[in-house]
Amino acid sequence: MTLLRTPTALTIAGFDPSGGAGVLADVRTFAALGLPAVGAITSITFQTQDSVFGAAHQTAEVLRAQIAPVLAASTIVCAKTGMLPTREIVLEVARLFRESDLPAPVVDPVIVSSSGYALMEADALAALTDQLLPLAAVLTPNVPEAETLAGITIRSETDMRRAAAIIRELGAHAVLVKGGHLKRQKAEDRRQKAEGDGRAIDVLDNEGKVTVFREKRIAGAELHGSGCILSAAIAAGLGKGMTLEESVGVAKKFVLESIRNSVE
């Protein structure tokens, strides 16, 4: 008798003991969107929701030992990666996706925490660009991450489009530049305030087709782990057979609702 396995999501990311980001946030997101999840931890961080104080990175062997049994027992329909702190971890993750029939992952390039703590070593970022980026369904950098990857300063939607194109030219199939960290010039801030147009902009470049997502900013609201939640939600949409554009749209609505709930 053949046993039917439940469609399952995979997360490969760091462990945030405060619960806001990393594997815990991914699993909650997948569950909320109707997918059970399995995961592997790349690094155990020491942090609160406000600051990161350190981390204990795992080895490639430990990562492989975590993943192998759950993959053998699961039917993975979507995958995402988060914090990949070292070169050996990046190379192991790239090997996993290159040598298996796993679906192409949503890659969230977690480089530096919002409090300024480096979460990825320099040679790990180089390995991600060279080895993992071409295997990704979509890369989801925020503005500072996109600036690092593209090597340009981002101050506008035009810059976001340019950065997405540059990163795609590095080998990515699709890039979503998240505009939540966009630092607009003061004159632009005054204009938007006067016109009531305080909108967060995300730019998706999917093999050259550009889609811009605009959502009204929620004043004073910040959600620790919002990038993790968004990338997991995008992966869930892809796992359910949505297009990338549909997946991003649904994921953005899910994150927006999470932010609203966090300030109520």
CATH number of the domain where residue 207 is located: 3.40.1190.20
Whole-angstrom distance, CA of residue 1 vs CA of residue 152: 57
Residue 135 pLDDT greater than 60, yes or no? yes
For the chain, give the mean pLDDT.
89
- The percent of residues above 70 in pLDDT, for the chain, comes to 88
Domain membership of residue 2 (yes or no) is no
Pull the structure tokens for residue 259. Answer: 């932010």
pTM value?
A: 0.90
- Can you say whether residue 180 is alpha, beta or left, with left for phi > 0 and alpha for psi between -120 and 50 degrees? alpha
Domain membership of residue 210 (yes or no) is yes
Domain membership of residue 1 (yes or no) is no
Question: Domain tally for the chain?
Answer: 1
Domain membership of residue 162 (yes or no) is yes
- Can you say whether residue 100 is alpha, beta or left, with left for phi > 0 and alpha for psi between -120 and 50 degrees? beta
C-beta contacts of 158-162 below 8 A and 24+ residues apart? 160/201, 160/203, 161/203, 161/205, 161/210
Q: Which domain holds residue 201?
A: 7-263
pLDDT digits (tens, 9 = 90+) for 45-61: 998 888 889 999 999 99
Can you list the positions of beta strands (E) in 82-234?
A: 106-107, 138-139, 174-178, 199-206, 209-216
Residue 223 pLDDT greater than 50, yes or no? yes
pLDDT digits (tens, 9 = 90+) for 169-190: 999 999 999 987 675 444 444 4
Count Cβ atoms within 10 A of the Cβ of residue 119 and give its class: 0-12 exposed, 13-18 middle, 19 or more buried.
Answer: buried
Domain membership of residue 83 (yes or no) is yes
Domain membership of residue 242 (yes or no) is yes
Whole-angstrom distance, CA of residue 199 vs CA of residue 216: 4
